[in-house]
Amino acid sequence: MLTIRHLKLNLNIWAVLSFIFILLVILPNLNIVLNVFNEPNENWNHIKEYLLKDYLVNSVILITFTGFFTIIIGTSLAWMISIYDFPLRAFFKWGLVLPLAIPPYIAAYTYQGLLNYTGVIQTFLRNSLNISVQQKYFDVMSPEGAIFIFTMFLFPYVYIITKSFLEKQSAALIENARVLGRNSFEIFLYVVLPVSRAAIVGGVSLVILEVLNDYGVVKYFGIPTFSTAIFKTWFAMGDLDSAVKLSAILMCLVFSLLMLEKFLRGRKKFSYTTAKYSPISRIKLEGIKGKLAFGYCLMIFSLGFLIPTLQLVHWAFLTYQSILSIRLLGLILNSLLVALFSSSVIVIIAIIIANNCRINENLLSKIYSKVTVIGYSIPGAVIAIGVIVFFVNFDKQLFWFYKMLNPNSSKLVLSTSIVMLIFAYTIRFLAIGYNSIEAGFEKIGTKFHEASRTLGMSVTRTFFKVDLQMLKPAILGGFLLVFVDILKELPLTLILRPFNFNTLATKSFEYANDEMIHEAAISSLIIILISAISIYYFYKVGDKED
Amino acid sequence: MYVQIKGLNFKYKNSKEKILKDFTIEIEKGEIISILGESGSGKSTVLRLISGLEVPSSGLIRINDRVIVDNNTFVLPEKRGIGMVFQDYALFPHLTAAQNIKFGLKKLTKKDKNKRLQEVLNLVNLEDFKDRYPYELSGGQQQRVALARALAPSPSLLLLDEPFSNLDADLQCKIREDLRKIIKQTGITSIFVTHDREDSKAIADRVVILKEGQIVRVGKPKDILD
Ligand SMILES: Nc1ncnc2c1ncn2[C@@H]1O[C@H](COP(=O)(O)OP(=O)(O)OP(=O)(O)O)[C@@H](O)[C@H]1O
Ligand SMILES: [Mg+2]
């Protein structure tokens, strides 16, 4: 029953703004759906006949093996860190999150430079030990190499989610199993894995989405996948129709995976907590066992963070004279400004939509929150196509207006500006900001809002005087996560940036692709440094607050 | 009659059965009413409907001859001028006691705000604690801040949701007395909710017994509770 009284409750500025934002997120993606059914052209028939199978097989191989290995590494580390005590455990607890600070494409060319014929390792073996190795064992530019890179730099997603689940999980379950006479490994296999299934699936699906989104690694290694194919059909061949068709197939793959995720997660939400929260009392590992645990963590930490970072530092020393210049400053400024501005936009939109969902509980706002979150599962290449088509159409519609302002105006205004890039970032990363802020709202609940209302404050005044104040930590957290993601982002930035606009990420990638890996070091290190600080803040400092 | 509630019916969106059935009561000015019922009987829901945090499916509420809800009226909670003390107080954690109390006084000048603050602090006897944050106050003190905050804007009706549920047993006796004194001193019409008959006996002028969303008895405490 919708009466005037209900309308009065629900129709406010929050609902209206949310509606507009959601529409803007949906429209570009709708373009893809609409264009899928265009008549297939010759090129498409060629792709379908000879190439499509390769793209599919490669993508499936990459996600399957990366998924498998990140589960093994992520859960084993989560288990060790939450239940055992061993040397440097406290350091590894957050140190093992750091591989997230290194974008996989940077890791890819760092490892390539490290392992190739002229790299440190082979040079050392050759010159000091007089050993020459078979090149094929040192070749990372292969699907196996890509799986290695993805695994080492994406496993923290599984690790973080599983670890925080295990920490919240009441210790009773594990202690019971122990009392029943099972050893640790059996408990891990028969109790921990099944119980944390939902958490693991949640983490691994993030990994898989990242792999499907990746463009940098597969392009650099020369592995044909959907991402590279979409780029190639569109730029090298200028065939937008076929690129749209490829995007649509990729989206089908993504959605099947999301369905699979839902199914595998079962009915359990992975954030469930039992009423009583009691921390696990950790077992101290003595002697050789302690050393083994330490060694394992150290190995993963070295491969995923220490080694590539040191290598980059070394290269930075070789090249800083030619690289440190006003141009580098320009790059840094570009990156920071775009990331800061876009993150602010994203956080503000996320706050508005989340607040609307909270105060206007109805079907529409439930749909909003679903749509908001979907953006993150759409690979960058697909968003890029949707956004470009959208903006070019938009420019066509607005041409009369541009002419009115400036008689010599060119046909394309918005679609050659930075607005398009920021718009695309917003679609892709809104989910990250939204999740953080929604969790913040959930934590503070509705009672403070209600108290303020009964004290005579309207929804909007309450928002500024109460909700926003209490939401600060969540806003900061969401902002940081989005900021780092934008700083590292490659495919969208590559396609949608205005002419001659470079960021740290695009410049590093360009250097690496032009066989100037050493020159890429400094901009890569800046990205890694900023990301590492933000991640440290988010996971270490944010952790303490709870 | 000062407060008139007639035939309120209500159900939550995701609940199957009606939570409140034909809730009807009239209250005189300055009277203290207690709604007594078991957990889940719908006591808090009554208060949420009166304060405007939920919309009834039918029924009428009129305060001081002003209709705040009926079939074609709905006055938003912030426009009702009804004070509420929440079950767990809901004091704003980012504001001090004094700032919490002044929160609802947005229409006054700064000077008047401070004057009013002084008055209510006096009333609840908390002058020494006004600059503390909620987490620096004891349960009893928090309750008094919550009461002061609700009273500060001089509401036409005061609602209290289980005002004693978060306090120790020995403290309860003393605070019951205090609460009754404070309310009677201001002469404000109040409805308070409890599951404890002793609360009702000590404070209420009249008791409403609620069972599964329906009023089963209404009367003076000594008549129906002894
Ligand atoms: N938001 C809600 N959605 C659905 N059902 C609700 C909601 N809030 C309360 N209920 C249900 O309405 C009924 C009455 O709840 P209410 O909170 O009014 O009880 P109460 O008498 O205040 O109980 P208590 O003494 O435990 O506070 C309960 O059965 C409860 O489960
Ligand atoms: Mg209640």
Q: Is A12 exposed, middle or buried (0-12, 13-18, 19+ CB in 10 A)?
A: middle
What is d(CA A530, CA A343) in angstroms, rounded to the nearest whole number?
Answer: 15
* Cβ proximity of B152 and B117 under 8 Å: yes
Tokens of residue B97, six digits: 């006691």
Percent of the residues in chain A that have a pLDDT greater than 90, as a whole number: 33
Q: Which atom of ligand 1 is nearest to the CA of B46?
A: 18
What is d(CA B127, CA B105) in angstroms, rounded to the nearest whole number?
Answer: 18
Tokens of residue B80, six digits: 């009702």
Query: So what's the ipTM on this one?
Result: 0.90
pLDDT classification of A62: cutoffs 50, 70, 90? very high
Which residues line ion ligand 2, judged by CB < 5 Å? B 44
Residue B15 Cβ < 6 Å to ligand 1: yes
The predicted-structure confidence for A169-224, as pLDDT tens digits, reads as follows: 656 666 666 666 667 777 777 777 777 888 888 889 889 999 999 999 999 999 99
What is d(CA A54, CA A237) in angstroms, rounded to the nearest whole number?
Answer: 18
Q: In this predicted structure, what is the pLDDT of residue A425?
A: 94
**Quick check: B13 and A452 CB within 8 A?**
no
Sequence-distant (≥ 6) Cβ neighbours of residue B31 within 8 angstroms: B2, B189, B190, B205, B206
pLDDT classification of A8: cutoffs 50, 70, 90? low
pLDDT classification of A274: cutoffs 50, 70, 90? very low
Task: State yes or no: pLDDT of A267 exceeds 70.
Answer: no
**Quick check: A1 and B57 CB within 8 A?**
yes
What is d(CA A318, CA A516) in angstroms, rounded to the nearest whole number?
Answer: 12
The predicted-structure confidence for A475-527, as pLDDT tens digits, reads as follows: 998 999 899 999 999 989 988 898 889 999 999 998 888 888 888 889 999 99
Residue B40 Cβ < 6 Å to ligand 1: yes
Percent of the residues in chain A that have a pLDDT greater than 70, as a whole number: 91
Among A2-6, A381-385, A508-512, B33-37, the range scoring the smallest mean pLDDT is A2-6
Q: Do domains A1-34+311-380+418-546 and A50-102+140-274 have the same CATH topology?
A: yes
Q: Give the Å distance between the CA of A508 and the centre of ligand 1.
A: 58
Q: In this predicted structure, what is the pLDDT of residue A272?
A: 43
CATH number of A50-102+140-274: 1.10.3720.10
What is d(CA A412, CA A113) in angstroms, rounded to the nearest whole number?
Answer: 41
DSSP label at residue B136: G
Residue in B73, B78, B92 closest to A453 by CB: B78
The architecture of the domain spanning A1-34+311-380+418-546 is Orthogonal Bundle (1.10)
Q: Which run of H or E residues covers position A364?
A: helix A363-374
A261 vs B46: which has the higher pLDDT: B46
Residue in A6, A361, A448 closest to B90 by CB: A448
Q: Is A34 exposed, middle or buried (0-12, 13-18, 19+ CB in 10 A)?
A: exposed
pLDDT classification of A275: cutoffs 50, 70, 90? very low
B112 vs A42: which has the higher pLDDT: B112
Does B52 contact A at CB distance below 8 Å? yes
The number of the ligand nearest the C-alpha atom of B43 reads 1
What is d(CA A481, CA A437) in angstroms, rounded to the nearest whole number?
Answer: 11
* Cβ neighbours of A167 (radius 10 Å): 18
Tokens of residue A331, six digits: 């790059």
**Quick check: B92 and A6 CB within 8 A?**
no
What is d(CA B109, CA B91) in angstroms, rounded to the nearest whole number?
Answer: 23
Q: In this predicted structure, what is the pLDDT of residue A180?
A: 66
Domain ranges in chain A are 1-34+311-380+418-546, 50-102+140-274
CA distance A304 to chain B (A): 41
The list of chain B residues with pLDDT below 50 reads none
Q: Give the Å distance between the CA of B15 and the centre of ligand 1.
A: 10
* Cβ neighbours of A76 (radius 10 Å): 18
User: Which of B43, B49, B164 for mutating ligand 1's site (highest number of atoms within 8 Å of CB)?
Assistant: B43
Q: Is A366 exposed, middle or buried (0-12, 13-18, 19+ CB in 10 A)?
A: exposed
Residue type for position B89: Y
Residue type for position A277: Y
The predicted-structure confidence for B16-63, as pLDDT tens digits, reads as follows: 888 999 999 999 999 999 999 999 999 999 999 999 999 999 999 999
Q: Which residue of A has its CA nearest to B90?
A: A448
Query: Phi/psi of residue B86, each to 5°?
Result: -80, 160
Q: Which residue of A has its CA nearest to B101?
A: A455
3-state secondary structure of A143: helix
Question: Using a CB-CB distance cutoff of 8 angstroms, which residues of chain B are in contact with residue A470?
Answer: 92-94
What is d(CA B173, CA B163) in angstroms, rounded to the nearest whole number?
Answer: 12
Q: Which residue of B has its CA nearest to A362?
A: B13
**Quick check: A455 and B153 CB within 8 A?**
yes
Which residue blocks in B43-196 are alpha helix, DSSP H?
43-51, 97-102, 110-124, 139-151, 169-186
Does B78 contact A at CB distance below 8 Å? yes
* Cβ proximity of B61 and B24 under 8 Å: no
Unique residue bearing structure tokens 């409805």:
B191
Q: B33 forms bridges with which residues in the sheet? A: B191, B206
What is d(CA A196, CA A327) in angstroms, rounded to the nearest whole number?
Answer: 49
3-state secondary structure of B94: coil
Q: B210 forms bridges with which residues in the sheet? A: B37, B215
pLDDT classification of A159: cutoffs 50, 70, 90? very high
**Quick check: B106 and A457 CB within 8 A?**
yes
Tokens of residue A285, six digits: 């590992």
Q: In this predicted structure, what is the pLDDT of residue A406?
A: 78
CA angle B89, B94, B99 (to 5 degrees): 75
**Quick check: B106 and A456 CB within 8 A?**
yes
Average pLDDT, chain A: 84
Sequence-distant (≥ 6) Cβ neighbours of residue B92 within 8 angstroms: A448, A451, A452, A466, A469, A470, B99, B100, B103, B134
Cα–Cα distances in Å, from A184 out to A76, A84, A165?
A: 12, 10, 18
3-state secondary structure of A95: helix
Q: In this predicted structure, what is the pLDDT of residue A545?
A: 41
Note the maximum CA span of chain B.
51
